[in-house]
Chain A
Amino acid sequence: MNKNLLLLGVGGAGTTMVRGVTRAFSSPMHAHAVDTDAASGSEGGIPFTLLGGNRLAGRGSGGQPAEARAAFEDDPGVLDPVFDGLRTCVVLAALGGGTGGGATGGILKRLHSKGVSTLLFATLPFSFEGADRERAAKSEAATLAREADVSVFLPLDDLVAGVDNMTEALRQAHDMVSSGVTLLWRLLEKPGYIRMDPERLHAAIAGAGRARFAAAAAAGENRVGDVLAALAANPLLSRSNGAAPVRTIVAGVLAGDDLRLSEVAAVASGLSAAFGPDAKLEIGTVNDEQTFSGRLAVSVLLFEESPAAASKPAALAAARNPLAAHDRFGKTDKTIWEGEDLDIPTYLRRNLTLEK
């Protein structure tokens, strides 16, 4: 179990999804859950921290993000013992109200202040849950995208289709997120032909902004082709809503002992062709006969090349005052070399990506 890497569930849905991952992973893993509702922790199975016990008495935030935010701010260091020694934290939450929408921002900020890279998976509500909830989720997503190193937003509409019963639809959606994250965790923690250790994920996260995530599995003769076709058709990976080109593809190939290297090569070339011929590809494999006998699963994280994320501090500095550099050198002649104003920071002129 890698103690540098933590899976953290925030809120009721986040806790449910983390619990789903720990069950499916079937080996000890470093996971934790937080909620304002004490009932979330009552099932056991994973370490749990109650937020805002004095304020809310463990009864939850009542769907009010402001209450959840205040609950965390009452004691922002409450999770510090859990965060000590971390390099990377994967956070699962559901947006649209309550603890997931209210407390996640403060938690991400706290992680950032401790130098921990963060990868956020957050679900967005079903459209039938109403416009208010959708608006709230969008607003929360915009905030969280600034706080997390990488954020993956998963619209529940894209995860589940054709299920009328809301409880069942939510269960299926959370199961799908859990399955995908479990694949990611297996990739990071289980041995394979090509090791995808958490440091490679950490490096991919650094300087990224938004990402897309999906997974697919298949069995049989044409399992590689079937998986690639399923991924190509998955709306979670489609480039829509102004998504930027893909900068890095992090992919995991998980299979039993029958995994062939030619299959890994076929997955690699298929993913590159489908999602970004110019993107950097980081691929890892897991051989787990017990879980994947005869099957092949592929989990994919597509890190977007977003100008907004290209350099958060740089972008912030530039946004604050692009000519700020001249304040310091204002009383002197500009240093111009071949048309370039050298008084402006080099990293800004070169548009360099800076790790947060």
Chain B
Amino acid sequence: MSKPDPVAALEIGTSRTVLAIGEPLAPGRVKVLAVEEIPSRGVRKSQIVDIAQAGLSIASVLQRAEDKTRYTIHQTNLAATGPHVRSKLYTTQWQLNGPEVTDEDIAGVYNLSIDAGVDSAERAILDASEMGYGLDDLDGIPQPKGMTGRILRLNTLFVHGSAQRMEDARKAAQYKAKLEIADVFFSSSRAAAAVLTPEARRDGALVIDLGGGTTGYTVWADGHLVHADVLGVGGDHVTNDVSLAFGITRSQAEQAKKEAQAVVGDNGGTPRIELPSTTPGFGPVSISRRALDTVVNARLHETFAIIRTELDRADLLHRIHSGVVLVGGGSAQPGIARLAGNVFGLAARIGELVPGVEGLEDVENPAAYAAAAGVLLASQPDPESDSLVKRFFGGFFGK
């Protein structure tokens, strides 16, 4: 029996470019053969500002992943995010062709839903979550086929982003790596899919994807994605804050960040941190550990507090029963789960990949690769998947 074709996932982040190659094992199961990353160039707040620079990063990371797996990759799926990403709930209505709901009626209401979701040529759908049907005055129907009624409704949450930003990503992937982008996914919802069990999705969870340029967050309840948003603040802001606070280079600030505790007062290390010179002309410096923690805490606390405020306004906090899960590169910040727990008043933890993702057991902080793993999983989705996009769009650039 021949091996299945490999699948690839590309994440063009502000801090790092990640490329993962996996082997689909079964619906909802994938074996990750390689996950490679290099520092990104030409990207700010998760948006490409220099296609050539970003393209060179993609070519480098692709080369590494190919060398490791001995596969040649021509096509990949993209994990996309950025401050332009928004989610919106649409309710579409369909008049039944007969007294009972048929497959044609369900397809009809889906198609209407998709038309509603793509309400502008400038927007691209990155994810869609069917949140249940309604039939006349009855709501919360998981499967309406065969039921009697007149008007069928479908509630759908669409996550969409700027089509131009997706096009920039496509050009960057093409630039040197000659890599085709088959499909685009919202990285934060894919990251959540890689760390949430069906039980957690049902009980209600908030997944915060701490990226370099942005912080994406998704709320799951009753088994569905019910909210998604992106804040244009990420680890890059933390680095910038530290760099400005102490008058040190960005590479020194990156180094200092690793020593910082997200909760001020938790740090038991020496009172000063010595940072060696990393740039000619900039000497070694000594900074106060407590001051560093204060700067880092201020930014992260503010980020969580904004998310909390937004979720409170959307009346979603009370639906989160299984707690807060942190993923993305920023989840490696010492003390960050404790800080999140403090701000949200909920149990908080660093994400662990679901059993369906194999091959990353020995990777340090696998939560940093949750988005890539989630995109690999989506390449052969579970039939129970909440995503409409794969069933109806056949790929963002392919449609």
Contact = CB atoms under 8 A, between A and B. Distances in A.
A288 interface: no
Given A316-B247, A332-B47, A352 B294 contact: yes
Contacts of A314: 245
B295 A345 contact: yes
Contacts of B306: 337
A346 B298 contact: yes
Given A317-B247, A355-B288, A335 B302 contact: no
Question: B231, B233, B270 — which one has the most chain A CB atoms within 10 A of its CB?
Answer: B233
A133 interface: no
Contact of A115 (B44, B47, B236, B286): B286
Contact of A313 (B83, B232, B246): B246
Contacts of A113: 286
A246 to B, nearest CB: 22
B171 interface: no
The SS class assigned to the A binding surface is: loop
A305 B306 CA distance: 29
Given A337-B231, A354-B288, A347 B45 contact: no
B244 A345 contact: yes
A164 interface: no
A317 B44 CA distance: 22
Interface in B274-320: 286, 288, 290-291, 294-295, 298-299, 302, 306
Given A335-B232, A342-B232, A347 B44 contact: no
Interface string A295-317: 00000000000000000011011
A332 B288 CA distance: 32
Interface in A320-350: 320, 324-325, 328-329, 331-333, 335, 337, 342-343, 345-348, 350
B340 to A, nearest CB: 16
Given A317-B245, A335-B232, A337-B306, A329 B45 contact: yes
A320 B237 CA distance: 18
A206 interface: yes
Interface size class of B (residues with CB under 8 A): 20 to 34
Given A332-B49, A342-B233, A354-B288, A317 B244 contact: yes
B245 A346 contact: no
Interface residues of A, number: 31
B69 interface: no
Nearest to A316: B247
Contact of A354 (B49, B291, B302): B291
A354 B260 CA distance: 14
A124 to B, nearest CB: 29
Contacts of B236: 328
B164 interface: no
B240 interface: yes
B248 to A, nearest CB: 10
B229 to A, nearest CB: 11
Interface string A198-214: 00000000100000000
Interface in B134-184: none
B241 interface: yes
Contacts of A115: 270-272, 286, 288
Interface in A97-118: 113-115
A320 B45 CA distance: 24
A55 interface: no
Contacts of A342: 231-233, 237, 302
Interface in B244-281: 244-247, 270-272
A350 B264 CA distance: 16
A356 interface: yes
Contacts of A353: 294
Contacts of A355: 288, 290-291, 294
A6 to B, nearest CB: 16
B186 to A, nearest CB: 19
Nearest to B300: A346
Given A115-B288, A333-B232, A324 B244 contact: yes
B59 to A, nearest CB: 22
A333 B83 contact: yes
Contact of B302 (A206, A332, A346, A356): A346
A138 interface: no
Given A335-B45, A335-B83, A335-B231, A313 B298 contact: no
Given A346-B299, A347-B298, A350-B298, A329 B241 contact: no
A295 B158 CA distance: 78
Interface in B34-52: 44-45, 47, 49
Question: B44, B236, B288 — which one has the most chain A CB atoms within 10 A of its CB?
Answer: B288
Contacts of A114: 272, 286
A313 B242 CA distance: 10
B10 to A, nearest CB: 21
Contacts of A356: 288, 291
A345 B241 contact: yes
22 contacts: A114-B272, A206-B288, A331-B49, A332-B44, A332-B45, A332-B47, A332-B83, A335-B83, A337-B231, A345-B237, A345-B244, A347-B295, A347-B298, A348-B244, A350-B298, A352-B294, A352-B295, A354-B294, A354-B295, A355-B288, A355-B294, A356-B291
4 A-B pairs closest in CB distance: A115-B272, A335-B232, A345-B241, A346-B298
